[in-house]
Structure 1
Amino acid sequence: MGERKGVNKYYPPDFDPAKHGSLNKYRHSHPLRERARKLSQGILIIRFEMPYNIWCDGCKNHIGMGVRYNAEKKKVGNYYTTPIYRLRSALTQHQTSPSDPATGKARRRLRPTSFYCKRFRMKCHLCVNYIEMQTDPANCDYVIVSGAQRKEERWDPQDNEQVLATEHEEKKKLETDAMYRLEHGATDQGKLQRALPTLSNIQEAQSAWKDDFALNSMLRRKFREEKKVLQEEEEKDQALQAKANLSIPLVREAEEDRRLATLLTYRSPDSYEDKQKQKRTEISSRSWFPSAKAGDALKLPGLGTKTSSSPAPCDHLGIVRRRPTDVPRGLASLGDATETPCALPTSPTAGPSGPPHSLVPDYSGSGSDSDGE
C-alpha cells in the first residue's frame, strides 16, 4: 500500500503538466501522505526507536530499549552546524511545567554550548502519557526532557576494564616520542601478563564450541534417542488407554510412585470368565430336590417363629371346636360331643397333652334340619 501511494502512475484526463506540474499538486497532497499532516507546523511523523531503557512517569512501567514509536520530529535549534532534534510526548500540565524535576535534571546534564534544536514527541503505548526527548550532539546521546526517567546504565570504561580508544594527543605522542612509546609498550606488556589467566579461561570456554559439526551431530543423536523413548512411552499410554477405555491423559511414571507400588501387595482378581465358570459349577453341584426337613417351611420369608404374647380366644374368632368321644361315630348323637371353646397354643413347638385337635369343625355327628323332621 505504501508503494502504491508513493508511486501513482494514473494520470486523469484533465491533468495538465504545464499547469499542475505533478500529481501531488494536482491532488493537493504531499508525497509523505499522513506523515506530513503537521508539516505546516514544522513537525514530521517518523518511526523512532527507544535508544535506552526508561521508566514512564505516567504508568511507572518499564519500556525497553528498541521499542519503536510514531514520534513527532521537530527542529528546535543547531549545535554549531549540526541540527538538534527533540522527541516530545504530550504530557499533562503539571508534567510539562518548567518546575518538572525530570525536565530540570535533563537540562542540567547538557553542556552550556548545547542547544535543543529538534524534538521527538511520542505517546506511551501503556498509558496516555507523552514522552519528549531531544538529541544531544555534544555528547552523542539522547536526553529525556519530560515524561520518563532514564535507567542509569552509564559508567566509566576504566571502572569495568573496557578497552579505551586512544586519544589524538596520545596517538601523536606515540608516533613522535620513542621513549614514551617504549614506556607505553612496557605498560602494555604488564597489562597482558595480568590478563593472561582471564584470556586462558576464555579460550578454554570457547574451545568447547569450536567443533560445531561434532556438537551438532551429538545434539541430533541425543534428540533422536529422546524422540524414540517418547514414542515408546506414547505407544504404551495409548495401549493402556485403549484397554481401560480412558480418554484422560496419563501422567508420567515417577520414581516415587514406583517405590510406593512395591510396598503394596495385591491379589490378582479373577476375570469375568472365571467368575462365570465358578457360578455355573456351584449351580450344577446343587441338589435338584428341596430338603425334607420339617422346619424348612418356617424358614420361608414371612413365616418366622414369632409367638404372640397372648393367645387369641376361639370364641372371639367365632370358631367352635368339637372333641370326639370314644363312642363310634355312627352311634354318636348330638349331645355326645362337647363344645368347648379353646385358644390356640402359645407355642408351635409345645404340642397338646390330649388327643390331636383339628382346626376344621367336625359336623359328622350333627344332624340337619331335614333329618330331624
Structure 2
Amino acid sequence: MQGFNMGRYVPPDHEGLISGNALQNKNRSHKPLTVRFEMPYPIWCATCPKPTLIPQGVRFNAQKTKTGNYYHSTPIFSFTIKHTICSGIIIIQTDPKNTDYKIISGARRQTLSSEGIQTPREQQESKATAISLLEKTILDRESHFNSSLRIEELKQETNKHWDDPYEQNARLRKAFRVGRHDREKQAATAQNLQDRMSLGIDLLPETKEDAQRAALVDFAPTTAADSSSTDRRVLAKPLFDGKNNDNSKEKKNKKMLKSAIATQKLKANLVSEIVSNTRAARDPFLDFGNTASRSAGGGGGGLLPGLKKRKRALDDKDVRETTISSLELEKEEQGLPPTTAAGRPHPPLALVNYNSDSD
C-alpha cells in the first residue's frame, strides 16, 4: 500500500501552497467533482408520474459544486443527483445556518410530524389527562412539603442526640462491653474445637436444643481404674498357656457343679488379681497412669518428665513367696497334693530387674 505523498517531492517553499498537479504543470480539470451522496432524510420525487418516496440512506452519484460562503468562511455546497426511476434532476444544498440540508428543486421533504388530527374522544381524554396531571402535581407538592417537614424534624433530633459525640461514643462502648468476655470465650472454644477436629466451617453459638441432644447421648462407662485392672489381668497371665491343662480343666468342669465352677473361677480371678497387683507394685516399668495405687503399693509417686531415677533391685525372696503361694492355690483347685521343699520346681521369675544403661 502506497503511503500519502510517497514518491512525490514538493519543495518546502511550495508545500501547502501549490498542489502537485499545479507544480508539475499538469492539465487541470474544470468539470464538477463527482462524489457519493447519501440521502439525509426521506423525500418525495416531484418528477415521477406517481408519488415516489426516496427513503433515507439511499446513495447516489452526485456532482458537488460550491455555490457560496456562509459568514465569510463556511462554504455552501450543492449536490445534483439524478433519480434513476424517472431520470429527474434533484438539487440539494447545504444549510450551515441551521446545520441541515434543504431541497432546491426536483423533490419535496416528507413531513414526519407526530401531531395529527384528534377525534372528539381523543380530545376529551387529553383534557382529562391534563386535569389528572394537574391534580397529581398538587398532590406531589403536598407530599414534598410534608416530607420536607419530616426531614427537618429528623435533622433536629439527630443534632440533639449528637451534640456531645464523646458521651454518645462512651454509651455505645458501654453497651457493647456487656458480654464481651463471654463472646471472646465462646470464640476461643469454637476455635479450639475447629483445630482439634480439623473443621473448615464456622461454628454457630451453642443453643439449648444442642445441649439437650448432647445430654441424650450415653457412652459406655470407661474409667482409668477399669482399664488399668484389665491391663493387669492381661499382664498377669503367662505368655504360653498349656493346651493339655485347658483340656483337663474343661473335662473336670463338666463333672463339677455350677456352684463349684463359680467358686473355682472366683479363686482363679482372685489369684490373678493378687499376682498382677504384686507385679504392678514391684515392676518399675509398668505404669498405668494411676499414681495413687503406685504410692499405696509402695512404688512411690510418679517421676517428673525428663528425670531419671535409679531402680532398686527387688528382693528375690518376696517374688518367690508370691509365686509359690499362687502355685499352691492352683494345685489345691486341681486336687493335687502339695509338693515338698526338696521336690519343689523353681518358679518362673518375672522379668522385673531391668537396669538402665546409665546404671
* TM-score bracket for the superposition, by shorter chain length: under 0.3
TM-score (normalizing by structure 2)? 0.26
User: More helix per residue: 1 or 2?
Assistant: 2
